[in-house]
Amino acid sequence: MAKSFRDKLFALAHNYWWCWQPDVTSIFRDLDAAKWRELDHNPVLLLESLTEDLLEQRARESVLHSRVNYAYRRCEEYLHDKNTWGALNAGILGQKPVAYFSAEFGIHESLPNYSGGLGVLAGDHLKSASDLGVPLVAVGLLYNEGYFSQQIDEDGWQREIYDPVSNHRLPIQKAKGLDGKDVIVKVDTRTGSIHAQAWQVNVGRVRLFLLDTNIEQNTPEDRRLTARLYGGDVRIRIRQEVILGIGGVRALAQMGIVPNVVHMNEGHSAFATLELIRQRMNDDGMSFPDAMRETTEMCVFTTHTPVPAGHDRFGYDMIDEHLGPTADQLGIGTVGLIGLGRVNVADPNEPFTMTVLAFKCSRRANGVSALHGMVSRRMWTGLWPNKAEHEIPIGHITNGVHLGTWLAPQLAEVYNRVLPPDWKQRSGEADTWKNFESISSGEFWEAHEALKQRLIGMVRRRMITRAQRLNHDKKELIELESLLNPEALTIGFARRFAPYKRADLVLKDVAQLAGIVADSERPVQLIFAGKSHPADDFGKGILQRIFKMSQDPAFKGKVVLVENYDMNLARHLVQGVDVWLNNPRRPLEASGTSGQKVVLNGGLNCSILDGWWAEAYDGLNGFAIGNGRIHSNQEIQDERDAKALMKVLQEEVIPLFYDRDEHGQPHNWIKHMKRSVRTLGWRFNSDRQVMDYVMKGYIPAAGGEYCEMDRFH
Ligand SMILES: *Cc1c(COP(=O)(O)O)cnc(C)c1O
C-alpha cells in the first residue's frame, strides 16, 4: 500500500539519516522554521506539534509533496543499497555484525546522549559505517536528562539545567526481541537485580540500541540510574557500566544478534567481555581460560585517555557487590575477577581499572592519534613486562569526522564544481581531493564569508536570548543585534572546559591581547563556548574568567562567550570561523576532532602540536603554536606556550589574513585554506577512520587475513 505524505514524513523523522541530508533537513525547516529552531531540530516533536490539517496546508503552501516523495525514495534506496564499500571489502563480517559499545553517542542535538568529543566521535563512526555499508550495530545507555543545558548567570558562573525528555518525544522506538516482545534485560548483583529496557535509534543503516533503567521492575533509585550522563558517584558509575557492558551483550542476544566482533569505544563498556566469556562457557561448555582466549580474539579496544587519573577505577567492595555473581559463574571468584582489572594482579591495593580489563580482553588496542598511540604504549608498559616499549601491542587509528554532518551544504555546492561526481561517497580517499586547489578563490571566499555571517547571526540570537532571560534593558538588547564584526578576523575556541585544554591560555598576557583586539586597522575577535563538568569548579572558574574578560571595556564586543555548546552551535562555529584555536597541554589531547570539522569548511587551525595536529600540520596548511616541546614543569610549559601563541598570532595569522589583493581578498590565506582542505579533508575523515578499523581491527577479529600492521602502528 502506498504510504501517505504524513507516513513518509514520520518515516524520515525516525531515521537520523535525515540529519546529514541537507534536502531532508530543509523539508522539516520549511514546515515551520520558528518551531524547528525552538524544538532543538527534533523532527518527531515538530510533526507531533502540527495537526494533520495544518501539515497538509503547510505542505501545499511550500510545495513539499514532491520533495518528500523524492526524499523518501532516496532514503529507501540508501537503506537497501547492496553496492557498498562494505559489501565489497568487509564480506567476512557478513550476517554477524560488529557490535560497537560506547557510553555516549553524539548523533544530533535532538538526542542528548553526549558530553563532548568522545560521543561525537562515536556518532560520526556510526554514520560512516552506515554510509560505507559496514555491518555494525551499536550499544549505549539512554539518558533521559542527557548531559545538561548550560546557562551562564549574571556573574559568569555556569548553571546546569536538566530537562527530562520522555522517550516518546524522541526519534526512538522500543526494540523488539526475537519473540516480538520488548527487550528487557536483568543483571544480578549481590544486593539485587537491575533491569533495563532497550530502545532503538536508526542511524541510516545502523541500529543503535540504548538501555534505559527507568522501568517499573526497578527500585526508585535504580530507575534514575541512567537519568544522567556522567552525573553520579562511583556507585552509579559502576552500575551504569554493568548495564552497558553486561546488559548490552544480553540485549543483543535477545534480539538474535550474534556479533562477530565487539568494539569497545573507551573502557566504560569493558564488562561486556565478561558476559561474552560467560556466554561462551555456558553455550559451548568451554573452560574459563579457553572462553577468555576466544573472546579476546573477537574484541577490539580504543583507548582515549592519556592520563592515569582519567580512567574508571573501582575498589574491592564495589566490584564484589556488582560483579560478584558474574565472578562466581565464571568460576574465578571476586579476587580472580579483580585480577583482570589490575596491572599487577597480586597487588591487593591496586584498584580495578576498566581500561586494564579492556586491554587484557582485546586482540588489538589502539590510541586515537599517532602521538597518543606512543603515549599509551609508554603508559601501559607495566601490562607487558616482557616487551620493549615499541613492541607494546597498542597501535593507533587517528580520529576523523563525518563529512555529511560537518560540511556546510552551501560549501558542498561550491566543492561540487571541482570534485568528482561521487566525491561524497569517496571523501575518505586522497584521490578524490586531488583537484581541490583548482576551486575558484572568489567563490570559496564568498561562501566562507556568508557562513561567517551566519555564525555571527547565531551568536547574536543566543546572546539576546540570554540577555532576555536575565532581564537586561532594551538598550543592551539593541546593542546585541550588531554584536561582532563580520569583516574581522574571527577566532573560535569551543570545547569542554577541561583544565588541560587551557581555554584561558590566550588571556595569560591580558595587556598583549588587549593590544591585539584594539587594532582597528586589523580587527580581531574571539568567540568562546564550552561546558565545564558539573563537578569541576576549576573549569567553571576558567569559564567565569573568560566571561569577566568579555565584560571588560577593553574586550567588550571583541571577546564573546556563548552559552550551551552543543552540536548545533558546534556546526555553526566550525563552519563560520576563520581560525580555530586549540591549545591543550601537550600530550594530553589524545586526538581532538573539532579542528577537523573546521578543516572541511576551509577554516585554518592554529594549534599546539598535539593529538591529530601533530601529524597533520605541514607548514602551509595552518599554524603551529610552539614546536611540540614539553617541559616537566607545568607552569613553565604554560608560560612558554602562551608566548608562542601570541607570537604566531601576531607574526603569522594576523598579517596573512590582512594581506589583501586588489579584490580585497586575502590571496595567500585562501591558498592555505585550499591546501588545508586538500591535504587534510580525506585523512581526518570518519570514512577513512572506519575503513581503517575494518581493515586493521574488525576483519582480523572476525577471523580474516587482512592486517596491515605497519600502518596500524
Ligand atoms: C566535535 C565536538 C567536540 C570535540 O571537540 P574537541 O576539540 O575534540 O574537544 C566536543 N563537543 C561538541 C559539541 C563537538 O561537536
Cβ-proximal residues to 508 (8 Å cutoff; 6+ apart), any chain: 638, 639, 642
| pLDDT at residue 711, rounded to an integer | 39
Which of 178, 181, 171 is closest to 142 using CA atoms? 171
- Phi/psi of residue 524, nearest 5 degrees: -130, 135
| pLDDT at residue 56, rounded to an integer | 87
pLDDT per position as a tens digit, 645-678: 999 999 999 999 999 999 999 999 999 999 999 9
| pLDDT at residue 470, rounded to an integer | 98
Could you tell me if 375 and 389 are in contact, meaning their C-beta atoms sit under 8 angstroms apart? no
The answer to whether 97-399+692-710 and 405-684 have equal CATH topology is yes
What distance, in Å, lies between the first and last C-alpha atoms of the chain? Answer: 53
Q: Which region among 23-37, 300-314, 378-392, 440-454 has the lowest average model confidence (pLDDT)?
A: 300-314
Cβ-proximal residues to 549 (8 Å cutoff; 6+ apart), any chain: 507, 510, 555, 559
pTM confidence score:
0.97
534 to 6, 136, 221, 499, 519: CA distances (angstroms): 41, 33, 21, 13, 37
- Phi/psi of residue 526, nearest 5 degrees: -125, 135
Cβ-proximal residues to 525 (8 Å cutoff; 6+ apart), any chain: 484, 485, 488, 489, 490, 491, 517, 557, 558, 559, 560
Q: Which amino acid is at 468?
A: Q
| pLDDT at residue 654, rounded to an integer | 98
Strand 184-189 relative to strand 98-101, pairing = unpaired
State which ligand 1 atom lies nearest to the alpha carbon of 501. 9
Band of pLDDT at residue 706, cut at 50, 70 and 90 = low
Does any ligand 1 atom lie closer than 6 A to the CB of residue 594? yes
State which ligand 1 atom lies nearest to the alpha carbon of 401. 1
pLDDT per position as a tens digit, 251-262: 999 999 999 999
Average the pLDDT over 419-448 and give the result: 97
Query: How far apart, in whole angstroms, are the C-alpha atoms of residue 404 and residue 424?
Result: 8
Does any ligand 1 atom lie closer than 6 A to the CB of residue 581? no
Could you tell me if 667 and 441 are in contact, meaning their C-beta atoms sit under 8 angstroms apart? yes
Q: Across the chain, what does the average pLDDT equal?
A: 95
Does any ligand 1 atom lie closer than 6 A to the CB of residue 504? no
Helix (H, G, I), strand (E, B) or coil at 529: strand
Residue 301 has pLDDT above 70, yes or no: yes
326 vs 163, higher pLDDT: 326
Q: Which region among 300-309, 348-357, 620-629, 702-711 has the lowest average model confidence (pLDDT)?
A: 702-711
DSSP-assigned beta bridge partners for residue 201: 208
Query: How far apart, in whole angstroms, are the C-alpha atoms of residue 281 and residue 274?
Result: 11
Query: How far apart, in whole angstroms, are the C-alpha atoms of residue 223 and residue 214?
Result: 4
Query: How far apart, in whole angstroms, are the C-alpha atoms of residue 392 and residue 385?
Result: 9
Q: Which region among 82-91, 198-207, 683-692 has the lowest average model confidence (pLDDT)?
A: 82-91
Q: Which region among 305-319, 550-564, 611-625 has the lowest average model confidence (pLDDT)?
A: 305-319
Distance from Cα 620 to the centre of ligand 1, integer Å: 24
Q: For ligand 1, atom 2, which residue shows the shortest CA distance? A: 117
Query: How far apart, in whole angstroms, are the C-alpha atoms of residue 669 and residue 655?
Result: 10
Cβ burial, residue 580 (10 Å; 0-12/13-18/19+): buried
Residue 705 has pLDDT above 90, yes or no: no
Distance from Cα 495 to the centre of ligand 1, integer Å: 5
Band of pLDDT at residue 231, cut at 50, 70 and 90 = confident
Average the pLDDT over 454-476 and give the result: 97
Does any ligand 1 atom lie closer than 6 A to the CB of residue 406? no
Q: For ligand 1, atom 3, which residue shows the shortest CA distance? A: 117
Band of pLDDT at residue 713, cut at 50, 70 and 90 = very low
- Phi/psi of residue 23, nearest 5 degrees: -70, -30
State which ligand 1 atom lies nearest to the alpha carbon of 593. 8
Length of the chain (residues): 713
Q: DSSP label at 15?
A: S
State which ligand 1 atom lies nearest to the alpha carbon of 565. 13
Phi-psi region for residue 218, left (φ > 0), alpha (ψ -120 to 50) or beta?
A: beta
Residue 141 has pLDDT above 70, yes or no: yes
Does any ligand 1 atom lie closer than 6 A to the CB of residue 600? no
Domain 97-399+692-710 CATH class label = alpha beta
Which of 190, 446, 425 is closest to 318 using CA atoms? 190
Average the pLDDT over 577-591 and give the result: 97
Distance from Cα 421 to the centre of ligand 1, integer Å: 30
| pLDDT at residue 308, rounded to an integer | 75
| pLDDT at residue 1, rounded to an integer | 59
Q: Which region among 184-193, 227-236, 394-403 has the lowest average model confidence (pLDDT)?
A: 227-236
Strand 313-314 relative to strand 352-353, pairing = antiparallel
Does any ligand 1 atom lie closer than 6 A to the CB of residue 565? yes
Percent of the chain having pLDDT more than 70?
Answer: 99
State which ligand 1 atom lies nearest to the alpha carbon of 597. 1
Could you tell me if 610 and 587 are in contact, meaning their C-beta atoms sit under 8 angstroms apart? yes
Could you tell me if 664 and 613 are in contact, meaning their C-beta atoms sit under 8 angstroms apart? no
Residue 261, Cα to own-chain centre: how many angstroms? 22
Does any ligand 1 atom lie closer than 6 A to the CB of residue 566? yes
Does any ligand 1 atom lie closer than 6 A to the CB of residue 610? no
Distance from Cα 120 to the centre of ligand 1, integer Å: 7
92 vs 369, higher pLDDT: 369
Residue 207 has pLDDT above 50, yes or no: yes
Residue 707 has pLDDT above 60, yes or no: no
**405-684 CATH fold:** Rossmann fold (3.40.50)
Domain boundaries, the chain: 5-80, 97-399+692-710, 405-684
From 403, 593, 599, 612, give the residue whose CB has the most ligand 1 atoms within 8 Å, as the site to mutate: 593
